[in-house]
Amino acid sequence: MLKAILVIADGMADRPVKELGWKTPLESAHKSSLNQIAKTGICGILDPISPGVPPGSDTATLALLGYDALKVYSGRGALEALGSGVNVLPGDVAFRCNFSTANEKGIILDRRAGRIANDDAVKLADSLQKIRLKKPANAEFLFKSTIQHRTVLSIRGPKLSTAVSDSDPGKNGEKPQEIKPLDTSSEAKLTARIVNELLQDFHKTLKNHPVNEERAKHGLPQANVVLCRGAGTIPNIEPLSQIFGIHATCVGAAPLVKGVCKTAGMRIADVKGATGTPQTDYLAKAKAVVQALKNSDFVLLHVKATDVASHDGNVKQKIEVIEKLDGMLGYLLNHVDLSSTYLAVTADHTTSTVTGNHEGDPVPIAITGPYIRYDDVMEYNERSCAKGGLNRIKGMNLMPIMMNLLGKTAKFGA
Under the rule (CB under 8 A), what is the footprint of a copy of itself?
Answer: 15-17, 22, 24, 45, 49-60, 69-70, 73, 76, 80, 96, 230, 256, 352, 354-355, 357-361, 371-375, 382-383, 386-387, 389-394, 397-404, 407, 409-414
Tell me which amino acid residue 242 is. Answer: Q
Rounded to the nearest whole angstrom, what is the least distance from the CB of residue 110 to a copy of itself in the complex? 21
d(CA 59, CA 49): 8
Contact 359, 351 (CB under 8 A): yes
Nearer to a copy of itself, 26 or 139 (CB): 26
Nearer to a copy of itself, 206 or 226 (CB): 226
Nearest alpha-carbon partner for 311 in 268, 264, 355: 355
d(CA 164, CA 193): 10
Neighbouring CB atoms inside 10 A of 340's CB total 12
d(CA 21, CA 83): 39
Rounded to the nearest whole angstrom, what is the least distance from the CB of residue 205 to a copy of itself in the complex? 27
Rounded to the nearest whole angstrom, what is the least distance from the CB of residue 5 to a copy of itself in the complex? 17
Nearer to a copy of itself, 224 or 353 (CB): 353
Rounded to the nearest whole angstrom, what is the least distance from the CB of residue 357 to a copy of itself in the complex? 7
Nearer to a copy of itself, 20 or 133 (CB): 20
Nearer to a copy of itself, 288 or 309 (CB): 309
What sign has the CA pseudo-torsion 336, 337, 341, 342? positive
Nearer to a copy of itself, 2 or 133 (CB): 2
Rounded to the nearest whole angstrom, what is the least distance from the CB of residue 288 to a copy of itself in the complex? 25
Nearer to a copy of itself, 256 or 286 (CB): 256
d(CA 21, CA 147): 37
Rounded to the nearest whole angstrom, what is the least distance from the CB of residue 155 to a copy of itself in the complex? 18
Rounded to the nearest whole angstrom, what is the least distance from the CB of residue 69 to a copy of itself in the complex? 7
Neighbouring CB atoms inside 10 A of 6's CB total 23
Nearer to a copy of itself, 120 or 168 (CB): 168
d(CA 107, CA 322): 40
Rounded to the nearest whole angstrom, what is the least distance from the CB of residue 224 to a copy of itself in the complex? 25
Rounded to the nearest whole angstrom, what is the least distance from the CB of residue 405 to a copy of itself in the complex? 8
End-to-end CA distance of the chain: 26
Nearer to a copy of itself, 327 or 400 (CB): 400
DSSP string, 237-292: ---HHHHH---EEEE---HHHHHHHHHTT-EE---TT--SSTTS-HHHHHHHHHHH
| 349 burial type by CB count under 10 A (0-12 exposed, 13-18 middle, 19+ buried) | buried
| 281 burial type by CB count under 10 A (0-12 exposed, 13-18 middle, 19+ buried) | middle
Neighbouring CB atoms inside 10 A of 169's CB total 17
